[in-house]
């Protein structure tokens, strides 16, 4: 598919930024960074990002799910999630931890621990005073460990401290999840949306999802609409268009390549589908 940028390139933001400690591109700490880019379109990144925020407010969506952080807490953004920023308050302040896929994969916890699944469902974690103090201690320890450039074991220290962080975060997420009681209809919507997240590039027919859920398309459509307020077909269309917008804005893929990536029969078909839902053509959206 030629030279594809693939994902939004966050690295230029760090080029001239103070208060940055790093181990190559694998692990980066940013203390109260000033992010100059305000993203007005959906985009993807190829890293895990944890934001420990001390004050301020941030609103947006991750994979179409709204999030709202205010006060003190933590946001964890996983690789390949599609982000949409809607609002960041002027007083927003936080410590950013950026980890490559390679670094996270080397921790040895993704296949045996369900934290990563929970994070995708619950990216915002409120922190009380004790939780914030623990995060600040972790950040300070990590800062000190990786600032010693000639330490032969600083990568291993970073890995072990990060394992501890994820296990601690995982407990909080699972506890919060256990406290939430969902109805059968809400659970059905959750299962449907998770199926859409996996299959939207290849399957846009309701029958496919109803079959996976072992129910009729009519019953599925009724429950999805009544419970979520959005029709099942709209959920599918929204995921397809979110991916299309992200690829148009954060990659140099051609429109034909994007059409192929989303499994449309032709570029023309993709263009009509996109314009019907977005209001402008893919070409016009890319230029906007």
Instruction: Give the helix, strand, coil percentages of the chain, each rounded to 5.
Output: 50, 20, 30
| Domain boundaries, position 278 | 184-287
Is 125 a domain residue?
A: yes
Same domain, 29 and 112: yes
My answer on whether 42 and 175 are in the same domain is yes
Contact assessment for residue 22 and residue 29, using Cβ atoms and an 8 Å cutoff: yes
Residue 15 has pLDDT above 70, yes or no: no
Domain boundary among the residues 125, 146, 179 is at 179
The answer on pLDDT for 8 being more than 80 is no
> Environment class of residue 161 by beta-carbon count within 10 Å: exposed (0-12), middle (13-18) or buried (19+)?
middle
Calculate the average pLDDT of the chain. 81
Residues 217 and 173 both lie in one domain:
no
Tell me: do 143 and 205 sit in the same domain.
no
In this predicted structure, which of 80-84, 198-202, 255-259 has the lowest mean pLDDT? Answer: 80-84
> What is the reported pLDDT for 240?
93
Cβ neighbours of residue 215 under 8 Å, at least 6 residues apart?
188
Encoding tokens for residue 251?
């990659």
63 and 22 within one domain: yes
Query: Domain of 230: which CATH number?
Result: 1.10.10.60
From 149, 179, 209, the end of a domain falls on: 179
- Say whether pLDDT at 38 is over 50: no
Overall average pLDDT of the 36-61 stretch: 76
Q: Are 59 and 68 in contact (CB under 8 A)?
A: yes
pLDDT band at 132 (very low <50, low <70, confident <90, very high): confident
Structural domains in the chain (count): 2
Stretch 111-121: mean pLDDT:
54
Query: With 80 as the cut, is the pLDDT of residue 33 above it?
Result: no
- Pair 102, 233 in one domain: no
**Structure-model confidence comparison of residues 273 and 169, the more confident one:** 273
| Axis-axis angle for helices 206-213, 217-228 (nearest 10) | 90
Q: Decide if pLDDT at 111 tops 80.
A: no
Report the C-alpha gap between 120 and 115 in whole angstroms: 9
Q: Is residue 2 part of a domain?
A: no
The order of strands in the sheet holding 57-62 is 43-44, 82-88, 57-62, 65-70
Decide if 6 is inside a domain: no
In a domain, 3, yes or no: no
Domain boundary among 179, 205, 222: 179
Distance CA 112, CA 239 (A): 28
Tell me, yes or no, if the pTM score tops 0.85: no
């Amino acid at each position: 598919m030629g030279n594809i940028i693939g994902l939004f390139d966050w690295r230029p933001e760090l080029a001239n930024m103070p208060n940055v400690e790093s181990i190559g591109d694998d692990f980066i700490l940013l203390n109260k960074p000033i992010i100059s880019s305000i993203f007005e379109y959906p985009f993807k990144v190829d890293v895990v990002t944890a934001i420990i925020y001390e004050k301020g407010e941030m609103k947006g969506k991750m994979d179409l799910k709204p999030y709202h952080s205010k006060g003190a807490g933590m946001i964890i953004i996983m690789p390949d999630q599609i982000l949409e920023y809607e609002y960041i308050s002027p007083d927003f302040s936080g410590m950013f931890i950026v980890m490559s896929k390679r670094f996270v994969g080397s921790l040895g916890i993704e296949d045996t621990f369900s934290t990563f699944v929970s994070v995708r469902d619950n990216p915002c974690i409120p922190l009380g005073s004790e939780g914030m103090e623990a995060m600040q201690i972790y950040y300070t320890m990590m800062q000190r460990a990786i600032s010693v450039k000639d330490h032969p074991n600083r990568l291993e220290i970073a890995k072990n401290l990060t394992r501890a962080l994820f296990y601690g975060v995982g407990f909080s997420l699972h506890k919060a999840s256990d406290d939430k009681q969902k109805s059968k209809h809400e659970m059905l919507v959750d299962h449907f949306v998770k199926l859409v997240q996996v299959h939207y590039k290849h399957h846009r027919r309701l029958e496919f999802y109803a079959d996976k859920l072992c129910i009729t398309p009519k019953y599925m459509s009724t429950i999805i609409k009544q419970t979520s307020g959005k029709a099942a077909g709209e959920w599918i269309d929204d995921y397809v268009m979110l991916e299309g917008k992200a690829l148009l804005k954060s990659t140099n893929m051609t429109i034909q390549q994007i059409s192929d990536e989303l499994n449309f029969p032709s570029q023309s078909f993709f263009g009509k589908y996109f314009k019907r839902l977005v209001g402008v053509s893919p070409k016009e959206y890319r230029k906007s």
